Structure 1
Amino acid sequence: MAITYLIKFDVVPAQRDRFLSLLNGVLDAMRSEPMFHQAILHRDPESDNRFMLYETWESHEDVLSVQLNRPYREAYHQALP
């Protein structure tokens, strides 16, 4: 059964362009994953630095054991803190 994740981001204003660049790279790579359904990124109309990402995948177990460990996610994950 498919699962959708809702992820909220409050981005440091000085890091907004870097965040979007890294995230777009991950989103582009995810599109070729066989278990991927869709992703939708929204920007808060009241804040240029607040985002919400909806990701839908075929399997929660696959996300935890495979997808989160993909090499294309490494730079993005390291930049989050």
Structure 2
Amino acid sequence: METYIIRFTVRPGQRERFLGLLTAVLEQMRKEKTFIDARLAQVADKPNEFVLHETWASREDVVNVQLNRPYRRDWHAALPDLLECERDITILSPCWPAMSA
């Protein structure tokens, strides 16, 4: 199991498009077998900054299957226009409580 923390800084005027495209992806993601959970939050007092917290059962599945799903194409294609800078992605692996190997 792994959790991905993804920070986005959205260009002025692109907030609604960003949210529309991301919401469509999140709605499809939640149907995937290896999906565990996701939360999207706006940074307090910063209407164009967001943090996405998503947890999946397997990094291998995320990298080899999920990132290539057709429903992600429009989202990935739009990112250069939507974002002020590259996404900041942190990958977390659980260590407490103890996880079996």
Same fold by TM-score greater than 0.5: yes
Superposition RMSD in Å: 0.5
Is 1:24 aligned to residue 15 of structure 2?
no
Give the TM-score of the pair, scaled to structure 1: 0.97
Q: Equivalents in 1 of 2:18, 2:41: separation in Å?
A: 14
For 1:58, the aligned partner's letter is A
Which ranges of 4 or more aligned residues in structure 1 deviate by more than 3 Å? none
Corresponding residue number in structure 2 for 1:12: 11
Highest relative contact order (Cα 8 Å, sep 6+), 1 or 2?
2
Give the number of the structure whose residues are more often helix, by fraction. Answer: 1
Within 5 Å, which residues of 2 pair with 1:42-81? 42-81=41-80
Matching residue of 2:33:
34
> How many pairs align?
80
Larger radius of gyration: 2
C-alpha distance in structure 2 between counterparts of 1:4 and 1:13, whole Å: 28
Shift of 1:46: 1.6
Gaps of 5+ in 1: none
TM-score normalized by the length of structure 2: 0.78
Q: CA deviation at 1:13?
A: 1.7
C-alpha distance in structure 2 between counterparts of 1:16 and 1:47, whole Å: 11
Q: In the TM superposition, what is the alpha-carbon distance from 1:64 to its structure 2 partner?
A: 0.2
The secondary structure found in structure 2 opposite 1:9 is strand
